[in-house]
Amino acid sequence: MKETIKKLVEAFGPSGYEDEVRAIIQSEIATLVDEMRVDALGNLIAFKRGSGNGKKIMLSAHMDEIGVIASYIDEKGFVRINPIGGVRTLYEVMGRVRFANGTMGVIGVEKMDDPNQVPPMDKLFVDVGATGRDDCPVRVGDVACFLQPMVEIGERLVAKAMDDRIACAVLIGTLRELKTSPHDLYFVFSTQEEVGLRGATTGAYGIAPDLGLAVDVTFAPDTPEPAVKMAIELGKGPAIKVKDSGMLATPWVKEWMIDTAEQNGIPYQLEVLPGGTTDARAIQTTREGVPAGCLSIPTRYVHSPSEMVSYADVLNAVKLLTALLANPLSKKP
């Protein structure tokens, strides 16, 4: 599982440019599913037929990561950038990025009138070692993501793009663990979540599921003086989402997840996330409405180059998701 995670998090895949990630996932799951297809927005939809008398369930984990796009090349060959998704300049400055064509760069910043303030995006630039527009290997429109290898710190895994490749790994792990299920399962590896849940919106419309479950990361603010206070800690189990800024989990789906965790002795936490949302929001308002929930992996330092998760939480997420899908729904809507 760790090798799969490493391959996924180190792959290049800002929103709209998920091809490399999709290829990795396709090769990992080809033998585990009945059909795979790619839809108009680039979602990878993997179908595993159920044994019967089940529901049509859509799982969703997004392949895209936040990144930057080259907006302008100045006369000295420095690359100006605009964000792709929720990029915080605080986490970008002095970091390293990689463009699709392999070009690497360092993010520099202009002087600030107040050096203690966080710089706005238009004061940042990428230094790719060029001297002018002519020898700049990057053109307007090229996209880049963080450049960071995955490391292990004790049982913790640290990498860029844990959001949301760790969830892609959880779905892959679940496919490996799941022997049978009564349900027709659509494992959707979605695109463009970070820029507005776009892949999940069209993917859910096409599938029209009876139930939707997203897997994504949530904040673990168990560090000194966190910006946001929540009752989530690393290592205390995956989180069952109650609410985030875009959606309220359907109550009976939430209860089903809680009951299943308790019955199987899987540790879990309850999550109320004040800022941020997931593919579950898009699934829930598809067509006539879809009962939906979300399983979250507690993560420190979200949207930074060094997102940290607990490997035990990841394994427990796989356990919980497998237990949920292996059996008929225990709760009536």
Partner 1 sequence: MELVPFLKVLSEASGVSGYETEVREIVRERFATLADEVCVDALGNVIALKRGIGPEPRRRIMLAGHMDEIGLIVTRLDKGFLRFTQVGGFDVRTLMGQQVIVHGRKALPGIIGCRPPHVLSEADRHKPVPMDELFIDVGLSQQELEQVVRVGDLITIRHPFIELQNELVSGKAFDDRAAVVCIAECLDLLQGLRHEWDVYAVATVQEEVGLRGAITSTYGIAPDVGIAVDVGFGKQPGVPEGIAIELNKGPALCMGPNIHPAVFDMLKATATRYEIPFQVEISTRGTGTDANAIQLTREGIPTGLLSIPLRSMHTPIETLSVKDLARTGRLLAHFIAGLDERFIDKLTWKMPAGEAK
Partner 2 sequence: MNWNRLEALSNALGPSGGEDAVRQIVVEAIKERVDEFRVDHLGNVIAMQKGTAHVGFKVMVAAHMDEVGLMISHADESGLLHFDKVGGIDDRVLPAKTVRIGQNRVPGLICIKPVHLTTPEERGQVISYTQMVIDIGANSKAEAEKLVKQGDYAAFDTTFEDLGGTVKGKSFDDRAGCAVLIELIEQGPYPFDFYPVFTTMEEVGLRGARVAAFSVMPHAAFVLEGTICDDGPKERDLSPTTEVGKGPAISVMDQSVIADPRLVRLLIDTAEAEGIPYQFKQPGKGGTDAGAIHLAQTGVPTVPISVPCRYIHSPVSLLSKADFENTVKLMAATLRRLTPDVVARRE
Helix ranges restricted to H, 136-236? 162-177, 198-207
Residues labelled catalytic: 193
With binding defined as CB under 8 A, does residue 2 bind partner 2?
Answer: no
Applying the rule CB under 8 A, the residues between 81 and 110 that interact with partner 1 are none
Structure tokens at 326: 């292996």
With binding defined as CB under 8 A, does residue 313 bind partner 1?
Answer: no
Query: According to CB under 8 A, which one of 95, 119, 137, 206 is a site residue for partner 2?
Result: 206
With binding defined as CB under 8 A, does residue 41 bind partner 1?
Answer: no
Instruction: Provide the minimum distance between the beta carbon of 277 and partner 1 in the complex, in angstroms, as a whole number.
Output: 10
Query: Strand pairing of 67-73 and 79-84?
Result: antiparallel
Other beta carbons within 10 angstroms of residue 314's beta carbon come to 24
Which CB sits closer to partner 2, 192 or 269? 192
Residue 248 interacts, among partner 2, partner 1, none and using kind-specific CB cut-offs from 5 to 8 Å, with: partner 1
Do 286 and 188 form a contact (C-beta atoms < 8 A)? no
Query: Strand pairing of 56-62 and 96-99?
Result: unpaired
d(CA 311, CA 152): 10
Do 167 and 194 form a contact (C-beta atoms < 8 A)? no
Query: According to CB under 8 A, which one of 40, 94, 153, 227 is a site residue for partner 2?
Result: 40
d(CA 151, CA 162): 12
Residues 243-272: x where in contact with partner 1 by CB under 8 A, - otherwise, as a string: x--xxxxxx--x--------------xxxx
Do 5 and 152 form a contact (C-beta atoms < 8 A)? no
Residues that bind partner 2 (CB under 8 A): 15-16, 37-42, 69-72, 74-75, 80, 82-84, 122, 140-141, 192, 195, 198, 201-202, 205-206
Binding site for partner 1 (CB under 8 A): 229-231, 242-243, 246-251, 254, 269-272, 274, 284-291, 333
